Chains A and B, each alone.
Chain A
Amino acid sequence: MIKSKKFINFILQEGGIGLVLLILIAVFSIAAPRFATVTNFSNIMQQISINTAISVGMTYVILLGGIDLSVGSSLALATILAGKAITNPNLPVGVAIASACLAAVGISMLAGLFNGFVSVRWKIHSFIVTLGMLNMARGAALQISGSRTIFAFPAVFNRFGTMTFFSVIPSIFIIAFVLMVIGHIILRYTVFGRMIYAIGNNEEAVRLSGHNTGIYKISAFVFCGFTVGVAAIMYMLRLNIASPILGVGFELNAIAATVIGGTSMSGGKGSMIGTFLGACIIGVLNNGLLIIGLDDNARQMVTGFIIVFAVVLDTYREKLAKTQKE
């Protein structure tokens, strides 16, 4: 009896959000025979890739107790610059693709630098600064593109976008996964990563112990910009268009994935693996609820409910972890 209780505690404590994901997958597999197929899992992987990439950066920012509302707009702006570069007829294909990648990553890192610098230099909460950036980037994207969708990318670029490895794993999922692993390693095993946690927990203490917290905070926003730039290229690979109106609401999906994954909105607590599982939960819900035949309105309600439920469950996990320690 005691043993089994211990076992349940162990699962709850270590599994947490992963357990919710497994339950969801099990339920959908039973309810809809077409859910648990290779093709469908391949679809889900493709559908969560962009959100996963953005959420990697978002995790850094939220761990600091900040937030980045500008990711969706920055993504749109990045696709526009990259789209202009990649469709430039004067450039050889290879150069066009390379400059598109540089443009996307460059502009979104610049946006991140602005977000970080302004919020640190004038001690303004990132909520406001990135809200401003949300509008600036969207306006710039519309201005530069003349509100037009850019299309007709090089064939080799489009082909790579729809490629799957072992006919299961989409190319853009691999990019997202690598980004997530890099994000995880930096967070876990570097001074920079540990500093992010420390600042999120108690910025004053870190500052008093002689560290320049501002540099770390700005770097986190720049890193978030980097992941947005990569996500912009992934978007272009997936849909072969660049548009100034895309990415509306992407910030909310990334914040949801991060928070479902157990990262605390007040900072200092959370993990990259959790964020990845959070993104998986959103993707599986989106896919599974449709396949079992729920209509639009029901899907929206159930998704909302499960997001809250997952986070509530997570608070129990925390409590358990605390009592176990004691």
Chain B
Amino acid sequence: MKKFTRVLSVLLVVAVVLGSAGAVLAQDKKPVVGVVLKSLANEFFKTLQEGAEKWAEEDGRYELNIKGMNSETDIDTQLTIMDTFISLGVDMIVLAPADSSALVPSVVKAQQAGIPVVNFDVRLDADQLKAAGLEDFMFVGPDNEEGAYLAGMALAEKLGEGGKVFIIEGNPGADNAIARKAGFDKAVAEGKLELLESSTAHWETEEANTLVANLLTAYPDVQGIMCANDSMVLGAQKAVEAAGRDDILLVGFDNIAAVQELIKEGKVLATVDQFGAEMVQMAIEVGQRVIDGELEPVGWEKTPVELITIEDLE
């Protein structure tokens, strides 16, 4: 036992020495940015990760430490990642929170440790931030409502007034699902469309396929379908095709490769690109401007959203 303890303590000393040596070396090197992502199982975040890695290599100013998890709702893993970055003493953290409220204490902890945090993609809860003393904390991210509105209006213009539509929503309660629904609703009102039904398919292809097939039975006179993400467009499009209804127009959100293909074939009208591959880069650049004192860390730094139709893909 004594021997074991001695070996252990020697190991510990070695680890500490190596660790501090590493830290000293790191200081001479590039600033380290800790990137906290949501689910890397999600194609969107995978694109975001790869885009960030490519940019960091080309740009050469920063060393990125990118961490994510395999489930959209794994809040615990994100909290652990935040703690790890704080104890590593990274120079900046950019965070896409899995939960708008639960990550606020971690952000406060990082700020107190002198690490600037940039919140991107999903906005942290304003009330929770205020309670923690971070009023009007800066957010860098896309306007999901605006994006959905663009897609909705593209559909409305094709259908004309009185066009009958479904909205296929994302997960109930998710921030981006709520914003996208609001954008679609706005387009329905402005385009004077008739909303037949709005239901959730929880972002999923198979569920959207079942839902849309059943909705087509209930409302055969539908003319257009707005889906809150592209995975659901894939399912909805198959349901429309199986029903032999090539007159129904579809719009989605995310601009994934499979849907680009359908747009080129004329089977989907439009989707929305929110430039995931560049989002980490935008967040870090905004963070750098804050560190350099060029920018007040408040308000919403909007990242672009763009409507993608067949003209953009040719």
A241–B217 touching, CB < 8 Å: no
B6 to chain A, nearest CB (A): 37
Complexed CA–CA distance, A271 and B156 (Å): 51
Complexed CA–CA distance, A288 and B36 (Å): 43
Identity of the chain A residue whose Cβ is nearest the Cβ of B49 in the assembled complex: A147
B250 to chain A, nearest CB (A): 15
B261 in the interface, Cβ–Cβ < 8 Å?
yes
Of the listed residues B42, B210, B220, the one surrounded by the most CB atoms of chain A closer than 10 A to its CB is: B210
A34–B218 touching, CB < 8 Å: yes
B70–A286 touching, CB < 8 Å: no
Are A39 and B243 also in contact (CB < 8 A) when A151-B258, A246-B204, A291-B214 are?
yes
Complexed CA–CA distance, A238 and B207 (Å): 12
Complexed CA–CA distance, A152 and B258 (Å): 8
Complexed CA–CA distance, A243 and B209 (Å): 15
Complexed CA–CA distance, A191 and B271 (Å): 56
B297 to chain A, nearest CB (A): 32
B205 in the interface, Cβ–Cβ < 8 Å?
yes
Are A151 and B209 also in contact (CB < 8 A) when A34-B218, A138-B70, A296-B172 are?
no
A289-326 vs B, CB cutoff 8 Å, 1 = contact: the mask equals: 01101011000000000000000000000000000000
Identity of the chain A residue whose Cβ is nearest the Cβ of B262 in the assembled complex: A151
Q: Which residues on A sit within 8 Å (CB–CB) of B132?
A: none
Cβ-defined partner of A37 (8 Å) among B41, B217, B231 = B217
B299 to chain A, nearest CB (A): 32
Identity of the chain B residue whose Cβ is nearest the Cβ of A152 in the assembled complex: B261
Identity of the chain B residue whose Cβ is nearest the Cβ of A248 in the assembled complex: B204
A241–B70 touching, CB < 8 Å: no
Q: Which residues on B sit within 8 Å (CB–CB) of A148?
A: 43, 46, 257
Identity of the chain A residue whose Cβ is nearest the Cβ of B218 in the assembled complex: A291
Cβ-defined partner of B238 (8 Å) among A240, A248, A287, A291 = A240
Complexed CA–CA distance, A50 and B206 (Å): 10
A94 to chain B, nearest CB (A): 23
A245–B42 touching, CB < 8 Å: yes
Complexed CA–CA distance, A146 and B40 (Å): 9
A244 in the interface, Cβ–Cβ < 8 Å?
yes
Complexed CA–CA distance, A244 and B205 (Å): 12
Q: Which residues on B sit within 8 Å (CB–CB) of A138?
A: 41, 70
B178 in the interface, Cβ–Cβ < 8 Å?
no
B210–A47 touching, CB < 8 Å: yes
Cβ-defined partner of B217 (8 Å) among A34, A149, A247, A296 = A34
B211-241 vs A, CB cutoff 8 Å, 1 = contact: the mask equals: 1011101101000000000010011001001
Complexed CA–CA distance, A244 and B172 (Å): 22
Complexed CA–CA distance, A265 and B234 (Å): 36
B256 in the interface, Cβ–Cβ < 8 Å?
yes
A22 to chain B, nearest CB (A): 20
Near A by CB (< 8 A), chain B positions 243-269 give 243, 256-258, 261
B100 in the interface, Cβ–Cβ < 8 Å?
no
Beyond the given pairs A235-B206, A248-B204, 4 more chain A to chain B contacts, judged by CB atoms under 8 angstroms and listed by A's residue number, are A43-B213, A152-B258, A244-B41, A296-B200
The interface of chain A, by Cβ under 8 A from chain B, is 32, 34-35, 37, 39-40, 43, 46-47, 50, 138-139, 142, 146-149, 151-152, 162, 235, 238-241, 243-248, 286-287, 290-291, 293, 295-296
The interface of chain B, by Cβ under 8 A from chain A, is 40-43, 45-46, 70, 172, 199-200, 204-206, 209-211, 213-215, 217-218, 220, 231, 234-235, 238, 241-243, 256-258, 261
